[in-house]
Structure 1
Amino acid sequence: MKITIYDVAEKAGVSIATVSKVINNTGRISDKTRKKVWSIMEELDYQPSAVASALSGKSTFTIGLTLPDLANPYFAEIARAIEDQGRKHGFNVFMCSTDNDASKEEEYYQLFMKKRVDGIIMVSRDKENVIVKKILNEKVPLVMIAREFFAVPVTSVMVDDYYGGMQAGQHLLEQGHQRIAVIVENLTELGSKERLRGASDAAKEADIAIPESYVIEGGYTLDSGKAAMKQLLMLEQRPTAVFACNDILAIGAIQAVRESGLRVPEDISIVGYDNTILATIVDPPLTTVAQPIKEIGERAVALLVEQIQSKESLRQRVVLMPDLVVRQSTCAIDL
């Protein structure tokens, strides 16, 4: 027998109007009553009609989420944080992985519009910002993660990548390293540029330069991390330390070092970035710059819900701080 709004109201001891207000997030309802009604709906497995809500112009209680690669533990952990936080606010999260493909971003944008999502959270790899512009033109609430859009006001949740890069560089310098290389993801992206700039400025403060030959564009995969590290190992004067701008690149670099017959960290120290679950299970455990993944998800959802409820799209820029986690993939160099 299908559960109706009448069943929810009766079980919760409130009126049908109160249940409706809770579902549509309208009216003055106490937090206690709101939580009670949501609890009863979960207990009875009551599903409000999203189609009916959409046709009436009301909330569908869905958030669209696009991420570049859900196979990457960093984005998988971000997705989990957003899903958990969305649930707390009464929203279901519709997740899509674009595989760093701008055409897939377009497909998922069209799907989100058909589903009448209430808002979108996204990490975009589209250099032309086509989808971002379309979303803004449709006046759909939008929050961007890990990337800013300067042409038009967009709410964003960022991490201070410059500071993270500086932390990585300073750590290696404190270990006595002077030949420090950097494997970046993509030099056309702000995050990669800022991580590199932070590490370079840390070196400059110690009167050390990172030469161009020590900066390799590695992409996003394990294999590309290995390939970038192999390039560095072929240099006449190889580096004694490498800062890889994500954990996957760092692990690829560790594999390449081992395959060459060298050791981490005794011959080459390696620092990653993100502090995903991979950093704790790789051998040796990875020294890495930890991004506040849970907080990124929480802040992104909170800002999106604020836009949905207020129906305003004022730009807010949240910058969170990363923190270095020292493990066994780095050590002091013997001079």
Structure 2
Amino acid sequence: MATIKDVAISAGVSLATVSRVVNNGPKVGEKTRQHVKKVMQELGYRPNANARALVTQKNAALGVVVAELRDPFFAMLAHGVETVARNNNVQILLSAGSIEERTELKAIETLMEYRVDAMVVHSKTLDDTTLINFAAQIPGFVLINRYIAQIANRCVWLDNVTGGRLMAEYALSQGHRQLAVISSDYHIDDPNERLEGIRQAIDAAGLKLDECMIGYASPDQEGGMQAMRNVLSASTDFSAVLAYNDAMAAGAMTLLQDRCIDVPKQVSVIGYDDVILAQYCRPKLTTLRYPIEAMAAKAAELAIHYAAGNQPQDNVTFKYTPTIVKRDSLVRR
């Protein structure tokens, strides 16, 4: 592999001149610049990204921290960011926080070591103070799926309370009066906020959600089966299940069908997120559309914009609201 020294020798120029060409520096005539670029191409020379970061004190990359890589939700998030990055000729550096405080912290610190000035961060375990401090250090720091009032202009977030209320209100509008809930057992804000919205709608209808009608487990298909199993063991009648996300909803439907409980004739199910899985469940899943790709694209645009030296506006935030997607898993009673 050709080195910067090989380029300098072949082009008949100094190492400093090649370095200036690589980093788009001044004091290089256009004829010399084009000559050096031609030699670089002929030799197959590729600049070292880390070395360039050391020279320029920044990296032309967009850092992205997601919770998990295997979850389709985060694939949608990454796709939204990637579209904006590609349009801006910016590379993506992707890392997973694994919903663990230490891992999330390390992921952000590693991107800082690479001198990444633009970041889209999905953090669920780091405390507000830590994230506020990162925002003060990183010009293009943007949080997605999290709201912190002190850095509201760097937050792109979903109103999960409204989302929970909407899913319960829709089930109630279809005549369901006995509702069960399967929720995530992760100690993060999202499940608590969605459950709060569900309770608001049920209370407003003059009904009650008993604790025995709430099942908790991991927010995946297996967790959906386990949470559904826990609710069924309570031996209480219900006609609709409100699931924390589409994966749990799919798991719940599988368990119900395995026990010869017809979905949706006997028990209706509604999910949350509207990932690709929702369209291929049988029956197709009624769910709340989480506009994560649009949110991720907005977060990426803001990160790149702020990293370029543009200051965030005061007194603004970027709140999104989910919407009902009506399919086949929930029917009128």
TM bucket (normalised to shorter chain) is: 0.7 to 0.9
Q: What does 1:1-335 correspond to in 2, within 5 Å?
A: 50-129=49-128, 132-133=131-132, 135-136=134-135, 138-150=137-149, 155-186=154-185, 188-310=187-309, 312=311, 316-333=316-333
Task: Read off the aligned partner of 1:238 and give its amino acid letter.
Answer: D
Is the 1:141–1:313 Cα contact (8 Å) retained in structure 2?
no
Superposed CA offset, 1:117-157 (max 9, x none): 12211111215357525523533421111112346566111
Task: Read off the aligned partner of 1:246 and give its amino acid letter.
Answer: N
Query: Take 1:254 and 1:132, find their aligned partners in 2: how far apart are those partners?
Result: 38
Quick one: structure 1 residues 131 and 63, their matched pair in 2 at CA, closer, same or farther if it must change by over 3 Å? farther
Amino-acid identity (%): 26
Query: Take 2:58 and 2:129, find their aligned partners in 1: how far apart are those partners?
Result: 26
Query: Take 1:215 and 1:115, find their aligned partners in 2: how far apart are those partners?
Result: 44
| TM-score, with length taken from structure 1 | 0.80
Is the 2:117–2:141 Cα contact (8 Å) retained in structure 1?
no
Quote the offset at 1:84 in angstroms.
Answer: 1.3
Quote the offset at 1:329 in angstroms.
Answer: 0.8
Return the index of the structure with the highest Cα Rg.
2
Quick one: structure 1 residues 187 and 110, their matched pair in 2 at CA, closer, same or farther if it must change by over 3 Å? closer
Query: Take 1:241 and 1:253, find their aligned partners in 2: how far apart are those partners?
Result: 11
Task: Read off the aligned partner of 1:324 and give its amino acid letter.
Answer: I
Quote the offset at 1:188 in angstroms.
Answer: 4.4
* Deviates most, 283-292 or 47-56: 47-56
Secondary structure of 2:98 counterpart: coil
RMSD of aligned C-alpha atoms? 2.9
Task: Read off the aligned partner of 2:252 and give its amino acid letter.
Answer: A
Superposed CA offset, 1:40-89 (max 9, x none): xxxxx996653344223354211111111121111111111111111112
Superposed CA offset, 1:267-313 (max 9, x none): 11110000000001111111000011221121101111121012535
Query: Take 2:120 and 2:176, find their aligned partners in 1: how far apart are those partners?
Result: 40
Q: Which runs of 5+ in 1 are unaligned?
A: 5-18, 25-44
Q: Which runs of 5+ in 2 are unaligned?
A: 5-20, 26-43
Alignment length, in residue pairs? 300
